Amino acid sequence: MDQKDNTLKVTVSRGTSGEQFEQEFEVPAYENQTVLDVVSWIQQNSDPTLSYRFACRVGMCGSCAMMVNGEPRWTCRTHVKKVVRKNTLSIAPLRNLPVVKDLAADMTPFFDKWVDAEGYHHPTRTRHDPMQEVTPNDEERNRANAGIECINCAVCYAACDTVANNDAYLGPAALQRAWTLYNDQKNENGQAILDAVSRDGGCHSCHSMGSCSLYCPNELDPMSAIAGLKRETAKNLFRRRR
Amino acid sequence: MVSGSEIERHDTDILILGTGGAGLFAALHAQQSAPEGTRITIAVKGLIGKCGCTRMVQGGYNVALGGGDTVERHFMDTINGGKWLPNQDMAWRLCKEAVVRIHELENEIGCFFDRNEDGTLHQKAFAGQTADRTVHKGDLTGIEIINRLMEQVLARPVEKLEEHRAIGLIPSRDGAAISGVLMIDMRSGKFRFVRAKTVLMATGGGPTMYKYHTPSGDKTMDGLAMALRAGLPLRDMEMVQFHPTGLLAGEHTRMTGTVLEEGLRGAGGQLVNHAGNRFMFDYDDKGERATRDVVSRGIFAEMRKNNDPTQEGVFISMGHLGPDNVRKKFKGMVKRCEDCGFDLAAGKVEVVPTAHYFMGGVVVDVDTRTSLEGLYVAGEDAGGAHGSNRLGGNGVANSTVYGGIAGDIMGADIRNMASLREPDETVLASEISRAVHPFSREPGLVLPLRKELQEAMWEDVGVMRTATGMNRGLAKIADISDRLMETGVSGDNLAFNLTWHDWLNLRSLCDVSQVIAQAGMARENSRGAHYREDFPDAGDMADSYFTQARQTGDGVEVTREPVQFTIVKPGETILPKDEPETLVAAE
């Protein structure tokens, strides 16, 4: 390998929302190198002022997602080899969110919408009651299980063009959480969920373009979850009119 | 230079540091138990529920839920696993309260754990357990627990201070109680002093001062470093748990050190040395299925025998179990390895023991109270429940049980606390000057110093220890610590300045590393996670002592305190006479 092959040319987005600019860095290439390692190398060796966010290092926390060559990805689990083009990489903060600084996005709107979609458990039992028995082949439960491994990394939210064009849209992750809870027989507020996801910016804003399901690093399928909500909210409307 | 006027001052009633299992449960319980109108604030170094280690729990949650298993049996396993060093009252409360907490998690928080065919909870046994006790959600139990807890807290009117790093526990003017906590708002780089009537420290331990380590990248022992400066006694500080199988992928990647799960060995995974031979049966009859400490030492010993510099660790090999079978059973692990270029299902993956959990921590009572009025400690920051070794599955049980207790107790204690306390401004000023110190020095690289510390701790205060090694380690720590004080950081832009935080991280790690080495010197026997090559015997259980470290002036003093056998004495059991030794079916 000649020297050129041993160096990555990395374009990094700097600054805060409204005042962003691009900066180039040369980073040594290694075996077993992730995009997070590239970003870390720049901060640790080249420019100590570079800001970014990470925590678990292994795809469990969803803190380190960024735009890599224009696509949202977990940087900790993205091998450079998989995404590098002619020894170049471009790295930017997650799309569709405000930028705190450089590569760190402000995830507040994402989590506010999670709560707005009623994305939290509404209990039917207390700690003093026995646990609900649920058999593994329970159909409702299997529908709930489909989306349960979401780690709220906001990759789907960044991938979604509807989010990009509609500030009010709850987005794929929050809606998928709502669908999971709607199918969870332990959860009480079925009607509240349907109401929350029927409002402006709810599930009917989705145009089923499918970027969420395409980019989900956990191979979940928010688009189908949203389709489920669309069906149930339509049925619900019909029931109410009757 | 930053002056007092540049500190933003903020008041609350109950302040919680950390958003792992302990912090989030404390917030929920405080809200349930405190008088109406009580202000509750939760602060965290990263994002709520996202940083920290509860989320990273793979295995599960230990709790005795019948089927022959009892709280008494769980307790005896915990005491035996901790080699008779645990604070027995804490261990008992952990086991007893876990039963309530798991019901709370399922019924009120909304977690869904794996079920048996008949609809009841599925439980499995980890090494060191005598019953199928560990409740789990596949091998991603922590994600389910923390996601559900996080949602509950996000949906409640609790004040959230995200990316706020605590840097100092500030006492009241008379020093008798806590006044509040000094923090850095990491996004702006500004100091914020938050006064509170009660403060829970639940920042998690996380021994990341070792070359190979599993915890989340934000973890740097800040909590214990703060507690040390506040003069609080810390116990069992020599007790660092190593997980035997951390991924080895090179020095330049953050993947190195991350855990390849325990279940791989349980399922029949084989460990193979540099010469291609299995070796664990040379060290223990249970081979690869021996407990974490035993396997870690076996691997470490093999590593020392190897002279090939291109190979550092040993290999875990799963292929003989059938690659498709491995892919199916360990989907997450196989994919994780694949993403970083390794074939776990059919090939072999290089592994190394990796620092995983810190058993030591602040001395607390069973209600999480400390010797400083108004300060409470729960989770990995608190010492005592695990003694010299934590059983797999007891970690998340401990943090959620004691976090909830802390919330209840703070909610009750606050009724007797009429007002906020004025801070000792001298301590506040000295904590600030400590934090801004690097701005007064020529900027330099922090990372090489951190690597040096990690190398020193791994070599000299690691899996196997000697007095000579630890003394050498102490000298290295002091030298690195001195050089850190001469290494500067540019103070031009403090907003989200990770390099400043790298400096502060290393400051905490140096301080705590010194205590680990000193406590290691003070324990002249081998118990659980602490192994002395120069004192290989466990010592007489009846004369068990735990170490207690405390800052005195510029130094740290370590004493030995006798373990109080308040519930059961060594050689005895609280299980009924006719109880079998184990309920776990032999494989």
* Beta bridge partner(s), residue B270: B317
E-assigned strand segments in A29-156 = 65-68, 71-74, 88-92, 99-101, 104-105
The reply to whether residue B252 touches residue A30, judged by beta carbons under 8 angstroms, is yes
In chain A, CATH 1.10.1060.10 covers 108-241
The last residue of a domain, from among B327, B353, B379: B353
The reply to whether residue A128 touches residue B103, judged by beta carbons under 8 angstroms, is yes
Question: Residue with structure tokens 């705590």?
Answer: B512
> Would you say residue B425 lies in a domain?
no
Q: For residue B488, what is the nearest residue in chain A, using CA coordinates?
A: A48
Separation between Cα atoms, residue A188 and residue A124, nearest integer Å: 6
Residues of A with CB below 8 A from B493's CB?
Answer: 49
Q: For residue B103, what is the nearest residue in chain A, using CA coordinates?
A: A127
Question: Residue with structure tokens 């000299």?
Answer: B460
List active site positions of B: 243, 265
The per-residue pLDDT for B3 is 47
Q: B392 to chain A nearest CA, in Å?
A: 19
Residues of B with CB below 8 A from A53's CB?
Answer: 46-47
For B255, the closest of A34, A43, A45 (CB atoms) is: A34
- Integer-rounded Cα Rg, in Å, for chain B is 23
> Would you say residue B17 lies in a domain?
no
State phi, psi for B32 to the nearest 5 degrees.
Answer: -75, -30
CA atoms within 13 A on the CB side of A151: 26
Q: Does A129 touch chain B (CB under 8 A)?
A: yes
Separation between Cα atoms, residue B406 and residue B32, nearest integer Å: 12
Nearby residues of B61 by Cβ (< 8 Å), 6 or more positions away: B98, B102, B105, B113, B134, B135, B136, B141, B145, B393, B396, B397, B400
CB atoms within 10 A of CB B559: 12
- Lookup: tokens for B265: 């060995």
* CA geometry: angle B259, B262, B263, nearest 5 deg: 125
State phi, psi for A38 to the nearest 5 degrees.
Answer: -65, -50
The reply to whether residue B151 touches residue A60, judged by beta carbons under 8 angstroms, is no
The per-residue pLDDT for B587 is 56
The reply to whether residue B216 touches residue A55, judged by beta carbons under 8 angstroms, is yes
Q: A33 to chain B nearest CA, in Å?
A: 6
Describe chain A by its helix, strand, coil percentages, rounded to 5. Answer: 40, 15, 45
- Integer-rounded Cα Rg, in Å, for chain A is 21
The last residue of a domain, from among B517, B539, B561: B539
Residues of B with CB below 8 A from A125's CB?
Answer: 107-108
**Residues 41 to 70 of A: which have CB under 8 A from any B CB?**
41, 43-45, 48-63
Cβ A63 vs Cβ A106: under 8 Å: no
Separation between Cα atoms, residue A171 and residue A110, nearest integer Å: 8
* Mutual angle of helices B498-522 and B447-460, in 10-degree steps: 20
Separation between Cα atoms, residue A174 and residue B386, nearest integer Å: 38
Separation between Cα atoms, residue B51 and residue B150, nearest integer Å: 11
The reply to whether residue A149 touches residue B143, judged by beta carbons under 8 angstroms, is yes
CB atoms within 10 A of CB B434: 15
The per-residue pLDDT for A183 is 96
CATH superfamily of A108-241: Alpha-helical ferredoxin (1.10.1060.10)
Pairing of strands A104-105, A99-101: antiparallel
> Would you say residue B181 lies in a domain?
no
A3-105 architecture in CATH? Roll (3.10)
The reply to whether residue B252 touches residue A37, judged by beta carbons under 8 angstroms, is yes
**Residues 471 to 510 of B: which have CB under 8 A from any A CB?**
489-490, 492-493, 495-499, 502
State phi, psi for B72 to the nearest 5 degrees.
Answer: -60, -40
Residues of A with CB below 8 A from B501's CB?
Answer: none
Q: Does A104 touch chain B (CB under 8 A)?
A: yes
Question: 3-state class of A87 per DSSP?
Answer: coil
pLDDT in tens, A181-228: 999 999 998 999 999 999 999 999 999 999 999 999 999 999 999 999
Complete DSSP assignment for B405-459: HHHHHHHHHGGG--S---B-HHHHHHHHHHHHGGGGS-B--SHHHHHHHHHHHHH
Element housing B376 (H / E): strand B375-377
Domain, as residue range, for B503:
438-539
CA atoms within 13 A on the CB side of B382: 34
Q: Does B293 touch chain A (CB under 8 A)?
A: no
Separation between Cα atoms, residue A110 and residue A214, nearest integer Å: 19
CA B431 from chain centre, in angstroms, equals: 24
Question: Residue with structure tokens 């609280």?
Answer: B574
Q: B456 to chain A nearest CA, in Å?
A: 20
Which segments in chain A show pLDDT lower than 70? 1-5, 242
Q: What is the pLDDT along chain B (587 residues), one digit of tens a residue?
A: 454 458 999 999 999 999 999 999 999 999 999 999 999 999 999 999 999 899 999 889 999 998 999 999 999 999 999 999 999 999 999 999 999 999 999 999 999 999 999 999 999 988 789 999 999 998 899 999 999 999 999 999 999 999 999 999 999 999 999 999 999 999 999 999 999 999 999 999 999 999 999 999 999 999 999 999 999 999 999 999 999 999 999 889 999 999 998 889 988 999 999 999 999 999 999 999 888 899 999 999 999 998 888 889 999 999 999 999 999 988 888 988 988 789 999 999 999 999 999 999 999 999 999 999 999 999 999 999 999 999 999 999 999 999 999 999 999 999 999 999 999 999 999 999 999 999 999 999 999 999 999 999 999 999 999 999 999 999 999 999 999 999 999 999 999 999 999 999 999 999 999 999 999 999 999 999 999 999 999 999 999 999 999 999 889 999 999 999 999 999 999 999 999 999 998 65
> Would you say residue B384 lies in a domain?
no
The last residue of a domain, from among B313, B338, B353: B353
Q: Does B254 touch chain A (CB under 8 A)?
A: yes
Separation between Cα atoms, residue A204 and residue A197, nearest integer Å: 8
Query: How many domains are there within chain B?
Result: 2
* CA geometry: angle A194, A198, A202, nearest 5 deg: 115
Pairing of strands A7-14, A88-92: parallel
Separation between Cα atoms, residue B556 and residue B326, nearest integer Å: 49
- Lookup: tokens for B146: 């923390």
In the DSSP assignment, the letter for residue A130 is P
* Mutual angle of helices A108-116 and A172-182, in 10-degree steps: 30
The reply to whether residue A129 touches residue B119, judged by beta carbons under 8 angstroms, is no
CA atoms within 13 A on the CB side of B564: 7
The reply to whether residue B142 touches residue A60, judged by beta carbons under 8 angstroms, is yes
- Lookup: tokens for B84: 């008779």
Question: 3-state class of B532 per DSSP?
Answer: strand
The reply to whether residue B110 touches residue A78, judged by beta carbons under 8 angstroms, is no
Element housing B353 (H / E): strand B348-358
> Would you say residue B528 lies in a domain?
yes
- Lookup: tokens for A138: 């329970």
The per-residue pLDDT for B269 is 95
* Beta bridge partner(s), residue A98: none
CA atoms within 13 A on the CB side of A181: 32
- State the CATH number of the domain containing residue B344: 3.90.700.10
Cβ B166 vs Cβ B417: under 8 Å: no
Cβ A88 vs Cβ A8: under 8 Å: yes
CB atoms within 10 A of CB A108: 14
In the DSSP assignment, the letter for residue A204 is G
The reply to whether residue A55 touches residue B100, judged by beta carbons under 8 angstroms, is no
* Closest C-alpha to A160, from A199, A109, A102: A109
Question: 3-state class of A218 per DSSP?
Answer: coil
> Would you say residue B154 lies in a domain?
no
**Residues 418 to 457 of B: which have CB under 8 A from any A CB?**
443, 445-447
For B108, the closest of A51, A126, A148 (CB atoms) is: A126
Cβ B516 vs Cβ B465: under 8 Å: no
Separation between Cα atoms, residue A135 and residue B168, nearest integer Å: 50
* Closest C-alpha to A186, from A125, A142, A111, A97: A125
Question: 3-state class of A72 per DSSP?
Answer: strand
Residues of A with CB below 8 A from B55's CB?
Answer: 56, 60-61
B216 residue type, one letter: S
In chain A, CATH 3.10.20.30 covers 3-105
In the DSSP assignment, the letter for residue B289 is G
Question: Residue with structure tokens 């990316």?
Answer: B163
**Residues 142 to 181 of A: which have CB under 8 A from any B CB?**
144-145, 148-152, 177, 181
> Would you say residue B373 lies in a domain?
no
Separation between Cα atoms, residue A197 and residue B456, nearest integer Å: 55
pTM, two decimals, is 0.97
Q: Does B156 touch chain A (CB under 8 A)?
A: no
Q: Does A110 touch chain B (CB under 8 A)?
A: no
Size of interface A-B (CB pairs under 8 A): 192
* CA geometry: angle B77, B78, B84, nearest 5 deg: 100
The per-residue pLDDT for B234 is 98
* CA geometry: angle B304, B307, B309, nearest 5 deg: 105
